[in-house]
Amino acid sequence: MQKVAVIMGSDSDLPVVEKAIACLKSFEVPFEVHVLSAHRTPNEAAGFSKNAREQGFGVIIAAAGKSAHLAGAIAANTTLPVIGIPIKSTALDGLDALLSTVQMPSGIPVATVAIDGAENAALLAVQILSLSDNSLALALGERREKAAAVVLEKNRLVEEKFNN
């Protein structure tokens, strides 16, 4: 199975990024985690991106806050799918990172999830890998069914309380 690369711009992003790591673990998807910065370690970020496909990665998740150029800088150096997680920072509540991550120029796509949307980033990565791995497709379907059962039970309790 291809690996998922989980890249963050700073170790201060880790509390959010850990939700993506936990999700990947739950699917038993192989992954690597790295701190690489578009601004502070640009050569290392570019080098990783250029070699990622031949290193066995299938998808790259890139999380960054503030002036968040990491996902775009990675996407500029690989044709692997790149998923951007805008990280909420204190000054502008993550809107800065959201706009920096999502507003990519035509030709260099970044699939951007919600601010701090680490779990969805991991799920999207698993969905991409499931195109060539039927066991992942089955596991994704089971997860959806379990999640729906939880909501249906909540609905039952609310209906019982208010509709009688």
Q: 54 vs 3, 58, 127, 131, 161, CA distance in Å?
A: 11, 10, 21, 19, 57
Q: How far apart are CA 27 and CA 60, in angstroms?
A: 16
- State the nearest-atom distance from the C-beta of 89 to ligand RP5, in Å: 6
- State the nearest-atom distance from the C-beta of 100 to ligand RP5, in Å: 10
- State the nearest-atom distance from the C-beta of 26 to ligand RP5, in Å: 24
Which residues contact ligand RP5 by CB under 6 A? 9-10, 12-13, 37, 64-66, 87, 89
Structure tokens at 90: 């204190």
- State the nearest-atom distance from the C-beta of 111 to ligand RP5, in Å: 18
Nearest of 28, 5, 8, 13 to residue 133 by alpha carbon: 28
Torsional class of 28: left (φ above 0), alpha (ψ -120 to 50), beta (otherwise):
left
Measured from the CB atom, the residue of 15 and 141 that comes closer to ligand RP5 is 15
Q: How far apart are CA 141 and CA 14, in angstroms?
A: 28
Measured from the CB atom, the residue of 65 and 117 that comes closer to ligand RP5 is 65
Measured from the CB atom, the residue of 3 and 66 that comes closer to ligand RP5 is 66
Measured from the CB atom, the residue of 12 and 127 that comes closer to ligand RP5 is 12
